Amino acid sequence: MMTLINTFLADKGIYMLTLLLLSLGVAGVIVCNNYMKKLICMNVMQVAVIFFFLCLGQKSPGTIPVAMDTVVKASDYINPLPHGLMLTAIVVSLGTTGVGLSLLLRIREKYGTIEEDDMLRREELMTRVEKNGGKRD
């Protein structure tokens, strides 16, 4: 039984960890009230996806994918394809984080807060004031 668990963890355990990271990110996006924290959780999710792809590119006796004279077999180099794809994914995640931060700044300027509860309360107040013809009741 113990060896079964050990082999399972050695073979597939890293998938569980990346999945845990992904679900933590999703849970954070759903639960958090603060939009800044939501953005951070979105980044955690992206990191989990990147980990997953890098796990698929591993080979157990492999070295880095830079060609050397002494190593000629293809099975001795780890898979360069996930590394290339994830390199661009990291950079795009930087772009999405920048756009998210600028949206957060606009929200902060309009509502004075980035907490979701306060924002909803403020929005309700603004519509009520508008309905009353510019007067607070």
Partner 1 sequence: MRKTITIILLITAVFVPFIAFNVLPVIGDPSSAPNTHVSDHYIEHAIDECNSPNMVTAVIVDYRAFDTMFETTVMFLAGLSVIMILANRPKKKIFAPSSLKRFRESGHPIYKTVNKDVMISIIEPVILIYAIYVLFHGEVSLGGGFQAGALIGMTYLLDVMVVKREKPIFNLPKKRAAAIAGIGPFIYALTGFISIIGGGLYLEYNKFPFPIHQAELHSIGITAVEIGVTIGVAGTIITILNALMERISFDDDIN
Give the footprint of partner 1 on this chain (CB under 8 A). 10-12, 14-16, 19-20, 22-23, 26-27, 30-31, 55-62, 64-67, 74-75, 77, 79-84, 87-88, 90-92, 94-96, 98-99, 101-103, 105-106, 108-109
Instruction: Report the alpha-carbon distance of residue 63 to residue 39 in Å, rounded.
Output: 35
Identify which of residues 76 and 124 has a Cβ nearer to partner 1 in the complex.
76
- Here the tokens at position 89 are 């994914």
Residue 137's contacts (CB-CB under 8 Å, 6 or more residues apart) are: 128
Kindly state the smallest distance separating residue 87's Cβ from partner 1, in Å.
6
Identify which of residues 4 and 10 has a Cβ nearer to partner 1 in the complex.
10
Provide φ and ψ at 27, rounded to 5°.
-60, -40
